[in-house]
Every structure is written in structure tokens, then in C-alpha cells.
Amino acid sequence: MSAPSLDAANLLDREVSPYLLQHAGNPVHWRPWGEAALAAARAASRPILLSIGYAACHWCHVMAHESFENAETAALMNRLFVNIKVDREERPDIDHLYMTALHALGEQGGWPLTMFLTPDGAPFWGGTYFPPEPRWGRPSFRQVLEAIAAAWQSGEAAVHRNAAALTRALAQMASTRSGGVPDQATLHAAAASLLGATDQHQGGLRGAPKFPNPPIFRFLWQAAYRGVAPGGESATHLLLERMSQGGIYDHLGGGYARYSTDADWLVPHFEKMLYDNAQILELLALAHAARPGMLYADRAAETVAWLVREMRVGDAFAASQDADSEGEEGRFYVWTEAEIDAALGAEAALFKSAYDVTKAGNWEGRTILRRNAPPLASADEATLARCRAILLEARARRVPPARDDKVLADWNGLTIVALTRAAVVFRRPDWLALAEKAFDFILRELGATDGRVQHAWRAGRVSAAGLLDDQAALARAGLALYEATGAPDRLAAARALVESARRWFGADGGGFYVTASDAADVPLGPAVRPRSAGDNATPSGAGLMADVLARLYHLTGEDAVRVEAEAAIAAFTGQPLPGGVAEDQPAVSRVGTALASPSRLSAFPTLLAAADLLAHGTAVVITGPAEDPCARRLHDVALAAPDPAVVVLRVLAGTPLPPGHPAAGKTASGHGSAAYLCREQICSLPISDPAELAARLGAAGTMSV
């Protein structure tokens, strides 16, 4: 068999990832990640230049235009390296591996991620964005290329020694150390650490850039219901209020941008990510359940409308919308005063006053719309709504940002959970239908014959194998749908995904790996197989799986599931924080390293929330005939509880529960339709009045059985 050749061609036109296809016309001889590319590098004994980004990434576009589209730079890359492109959303496992390597080098990360590897995939040096000419204290990209190639050619042995040392560091960072299941004091310390990092004036975490960080605030919100996070509820309200009125929110089309470059939520990087909007929608529903208000209701409705109008792919949802259009960041979203005046005429003055529109603008001579006026009289609010509709129609005539229309199982799982909760809280059964259709789409199009769900799909093709995050997020979605509908097939689907996680991702001694045991194109061997519970912009797969197991325990009462949940949590609680995290990456671990408190578990808020759910969650068991109005009202009230650690089980009258469930025997008690609040193996007396049930589930810190 002949050795793989180094094709003098760009091979990305064979891919389906929109990000990879963005680079298919580059003069660089790009290859997609895979064994074929690694084999070609080994055969040629050339180092690998690995470039990782994503379709909506502004600085990825900048580096592409400056360097990858430049014929001279491309010729240098082609002569000296085997060049590999990775879509970080399609291959988060590869991105995680090499981002961790960059952190181990003591560098702050972000995208585009630029790493240099030995032919067998071992990293030995890297960075992020490099300019085309020396500036900002950084060398030019061509200088970097020449220096790395010279080091490889003149001191290859030294490079290999450096790569070996870095690989050992990666193995150490991938290892875990078991501890105990966090108790209330530990949860309190972690919550206090996170609360100490919040911005008490603008919401979110202090400083800039400012990310939503939903996993942090969902934990703080939940912890407030156990009394271990005083201030967690108000901190979450402040975050949602400031973001929802700021420039990070699209006041015309709905949806939140990925983050704000300033500390006041005004100037975003304009890309919109599915995962952010899913998690923020869930927070809006929780906040509205506790403190109903038009702001939360409006933002939820507008965000779902954006999902339906602009993000549907079949019955599922696309990954992201770009920040740039016509080669300019934010061009689609910003306005001049003259444009507002021309579109709105006599009503422009009211709109300009409410949305910070001035002749000078608030960003580079133009205006990012933000709501800087309090609620007005109903007639004025009606005028503003009419103005927004006119401007949205006018904006639709502009060149829109590109959409990355690949479907990711884990991000869709987060969206399904959010739509399910929001459907009940905001009384929108059509949103529940959206969630059910999306769940069925993922199982149908991304489901594998071995029980796993795959990670990425586009244009009828699966393009990336399933990871732990996919199994966990979709299992959680199945449980949410089961709680909302009582449909047995939803529970069965969730159980099947849990079983696939056990089989393909389970670790000895408890917990889970990120990648499957049969993953064939993840380099460096089993010692660096990732196993992490740290949350970033999305909750970790380990944290989500612990949540799933805790929720499944409260639904079934199965003690084996409880033991497994405890092991999944404890697998990470003795582990120190990894060193170095990304500046452009909204990493909770970045926050954790900067906190005054020594509570390192603050980096794992989803895992901590799962620990709280397992030990102190409330199972609400609703009994009664299927069509009984009282049972339905009790069910709706329980589903709309503002405490995320409430698990709802609808049981038809006379249907036995598993013998280990604390409510076993209650369904045949003769009390008719009733609700039982079960906590720490003790159940309340039957509750038949929905108002009483709402009161028992309502106020923060007052939950009782």
C-alpha cells in the first residue's frame, strides 16, 4: 500500500460544516480533521498546523481574510505544514484537547485557535489570532510559521521532547480525583464564591467582556431555594433585566448575542448562538415563575419567535447566526439617526428617546438599539411596538448574516428543555409541540443503531460522532418531556440514552468520559481521554449526566440510580481546577480561578446543582384520572414551580409506583386527584387545592413538605 500523498489541493469542499466550507476556496491546502490527515502528516514527516474556529466567529473571519486568503501566506503554509481545519462546534472534543494544551502552555485561549502539532498529533506550541504584520506586541503570522518550521527542521528532537512534556501535562489535567458528594456547607461556600464575583450594578459577572454564564446563574437561582445562596435570586433577576434591556439583546428580531465586549451589556459581538438563547430562555421562565412580569414574558416570546422564524432546520434548530454581514461586524443590526427618522417619520422621536438613538450614535458613529426608558403608558408602548415592526421589516431588506445550519444534538437538547419549561410557565402549548418535534427529529436523524445519538448533522449527513454532552443533554430533554406529558416513550428514550452513556462513556469508579471508548481519531491515547466537569458557556456533559441521574432517581425511586448519581458527582469533587483558561471563552473555570474564596468547586455549577437536586430535590407526585381537571391543574402548577430542583411525576389513579419510591402506595389511597410533595424520602399529606400547591412550591427558601 502506498503512503498517503500530500494532495496539492484544498479538500474542504467535500465537507458539510458551514465553517469548513467558508474556507473551501482558500489557497491553503486545508484538510479536514481525521485519520487520513494525520496519516499524511506522518508519511511526510511534517508538522501539522491546526486551525480551529466556528462559523459565527468574528476574529476567525479576520484571520481568514488577512492570512488564509493571501496567496503568499498560503504558499508558505503549504510548503512547510500539513494544514488541518476544525469546526469547534462539530468537533468540540478536538477543540477541548488542544485548547487545554494551549492553557497548559500558560496562554489564554480563544478562537481562532492556532496550534502546531507533531505528525502524530502531539501539540508543542500554539496561540490564537496572529496578525498579518507585527503589531500589538505579537509577531506576524508568517514570522510564526517560519520560526516554527525552523525549530522543527533544526531541532526536531527538542520539539518532540517539548511535545512529550506537554502530553504528560495533558494527561495530568485529564485525570480526576474522587471526593465526597458536596454537602450544604460546600454548596454555600461555592455559591458565596460566585456571588462575590457578580456585578451588583449591571448584573452578570464583574468586568468585561461580559458573558451571560447561564450555568452559574441557574445554580445560584436553584441554591437560593435551599437557603445556601442568599442573593442568588436577586442576582439572576438583575442579570436578566440588564441583558434584556441592553444592546446584547436584539430588540427588533429577538434573541441574545453571545457576549458583550463592555461591562454594560451595550456592545456585543453580534453572533447569536443557539446554546445561549436556550439557557437564557430557561432562566426567563424560572424568573417569571417566581416574579411574573411583562419583560420576561416579552423576551421569551420574542426569542422563541426568532428561533422559529430564523433558526429552524427541519423540526430542529440551527447552531448559530454570524456576527458579520457584507464583511462588517454588526452591520445588519446597527442604525443611524437618519435611517430611523426616514423609516418612522413622526413616531421617530418617541422611539429614539426610548432606544438611545442619537445623531452621534453610541457605537462607532451608529446606534446599537438598547431600551433606556422605563415602561411607558400603554398607548406609547403600542407605538413603540409598531415602530419595532416597521424597523424589522426594513432590516429584512438588508443583507443578512450567514447562518450555520448544522444541527447539534447537545444544543438542541438544551433548547428542548427550555421550550418545555417555558411552554408551561408562559402557557404556550405550541412551544411544547416545538420541543416534542425537535426531540423526535434528533432521535430520527442523529440516532445511531447502537443506541447513541450522534453529535452533528447537516444536509442529511451526520458529520461527527456523539459525545457525552449529546447523550446527557438529550436524556435530560427526554425527562423534561416526560414530566410535562407523562408519555412513557419519553422516559424510555431518556433511559436508553443513559444506558448508551454508561456503555460508551462510563469510567471505572463512577463518572463519564467526554469521548466514546471507540473514538478512532482522537490522538495521544487513553491517558489524555478527556474527563471534565467544568462548565463553560454550556453545562458540562458530566454535570448534565449527574442531573439526569438525580432526576431519574426522584422519578423512579431506584436506589441503584441514586448510587450511580452519587458516584458521577463524587468523581470530580476531589479534583483541583485546571490551570489556564480562555479569555474569549466564557469559561466558568476562568471565573473560579479569580475568586477570593478558595472554593474550587465553583467551577462546576451544574455538577453542584445536580448534587443539590439529588439530596434535597422535591418530587411532586400527581395522582388522579387522566382527564380530571383538578389533576391537570395540579400538574400545571407543579411543572411551573420556580425551583429547578422540583421533579414532577404524573401517575394515573391505581397505577403502582416502584416499591422504592417514597410515594409508593399513595396512588391507591382513595384521596382522588391529589399532589404529594416528597423530599428526603418523606411525603406530605395529599394536596388537592392547586393554590395551596402553588404556595408550597413558590417562594424562595420556603419550600416544605
Mean pLDDT of 273-301: 97
**Residue 316: band (very low, low, confident or very high) from pLDDT cuts 50, 70, 90:** very high
Percent of the chain with pLDDT over 70: 94
Contacts of 667 (CB under 8 A, 6+ apart): 621, 623, 651, 652, 653, 654, 655, 656, 657
For residue 286, pLDDT beyond 80: yes
Beta pairing, strands 646-652 & 618-624: parallel
**Grid coordinates of 528:** 489524555
pLDDT at 156: 75
**pLDDT tens sequence across 113-163:** 999 999 999 999 999 999 999 887 778 999 999 999 999 988 777 788 888
SS3 label, residue 315: coil
Mean pLDDT of 526-533: 88
**pLDDT tens sequence across 661-705:** 888 877 655 567 999 999 988 999 999 999 999 999 985 444 444
Beta-bridge partners for 683 = 678
pLDDT at 345: 97
Q: How far apart are CA 536 and CA 439, in angstroms?
A: 24
Q: How far apart are CA 510 and CA 569, in angstroms?
A: 8
For residue 330, pLDDT beyond 70: yes
**CB distance 318 to 404 below 8 Å:** yes
**pLDDT tens sequence across 588-612:** 333 323 222 336 889 999 999 999 9
Alpha helices in 291-356 (DSSP H): 294-310, 337-344, 348-354
pLDDT at 588: 33
**CB distance 610 to 561 below 8 Å:** no
SS3 label, residue 389: helix
Of 376, 431, 369, 467, whose CA–CA distance to 97 is shortest? Answer: 467
The mean pLDDT value of the chain amounts to: 91
Q: How far apart are CA 319 and CA 322, in angstroms?
A: 10
User: Letter for the amino acid at 563?
Assistant: V
Half-sphere exposure (CA, 13 Å, Cβ side) for 313? 22
**pLDDT tens sequence across 545-555:** 999 999 999 99
Q: How far apart are CA 274 and CA 115, in angstroms?
A: 27
Length of the chain: 705
User: Does residue 5 come out as left (phi exceeding 0), alpha (psi in the -120 to 50 range) or beta?
Assistant: beta
Q: Look up the pTM and report it.
A: 0.93
For residue 7, pLDDT beyond 80: no
Q: How far apart are CA 355 and CA 246, in angstroms?
A: 10
**CB distance 87 to 508 below 8 Å:** no
Q: How far apart are CA 102 and CA 170, in angstroms?
A: 10
**Residue 575: band (very low, low, confident or very high) from pLDDT cuts 50, 70, 90:** low
Q: How far apart are CA 603 and CA 608, in angstroms?
A: 9
pLDDT at 576: 52
SS3 label, residue 114: strand
Angle between helices 488-505 and 541-556 (to 10 degrees): 130
pLDDT at 596: 25
Cβ-based neighbour number of residue 527 at 10 Å: 12
pLDDT at 6: 66
Alpha helices in 447-540 (DSSP H): 468-485, 488-505
pLDDT at 668: 56
Secondary structure string (H, E, C) spanning 129-167: CCCCCCECCECCHHHHHHHHHHHHHHCHHHHHHHHHHHH
For residue 492, pLDDT beyond 60: yes
Q: How far apart are CA 376 and CA 384, in angstroms?
A: 10
User: Letter for the amino acid at 212?
Assistant: P
H helices, E strands: number in the chain: 25, 21
**pLDDT tens sequence across 190-248:** 999 999 999 999 999 999 999 999 999 999 999 999 998 889 999 999 999 999 999 99
Q: How far apart are CA 31 and CA 34, in angstroms?
A: 9
Domains of the chain by range and CATH?
Answer: 12-174 (3.40.30.10), 184-324+404-615 (1.50.10.10), 333-397 (no CATH), 617-698 (3.40.30.10)
Q: How far apart are CA 139 and CA 127, in angstroms?
A: 11
Percent of the chain with pLDDT over 90: 78
**CB distance 553 to 614 below 8 Å:** yes
For residue 564, pLDDT beyond 80: yes
User: Letter for the amino acid at 507?
Assistant: A
Cβ-based neighbour number of residue 522 at 10 Å: 21
Q: What one-character DSSP code corresponds to residue 346?
A: G
Cβ-based neighbour number of residue 135 at 10 Å: 10
Angle at 404 between CA 398 and CA 405, to 5 degrees: 105
Q: How far apart are CA 447 and CA 456, in angstroms?
A: 11
SS3 label, residue 317: strand
For residue 582, pLDDT beyond 50: no
Angle at 615 between CA 612 and CA 617, to 5 degrees: 70
Q: How far is CA 349 from CA 345, 353, 425, 460, 673, in A?
A: 8, 6, 36, 49, 56
Contacts of 293 (CB under 8 A, 6+ apart): none
pLDDT at 594: 27
Contacts of 23 (CB under 8 A, 6+ apart): 10, 12, 30, 64, 68, 85
Mean pLDDT of 259-274: 96
φ, ψ for residue 149, nearest 5 deg:
-65, -40
**CB distance 73 to 141 below 8 Å:** yes
Half-sphere exposure (CA, 13 Å, Cβ side) for 171? 12
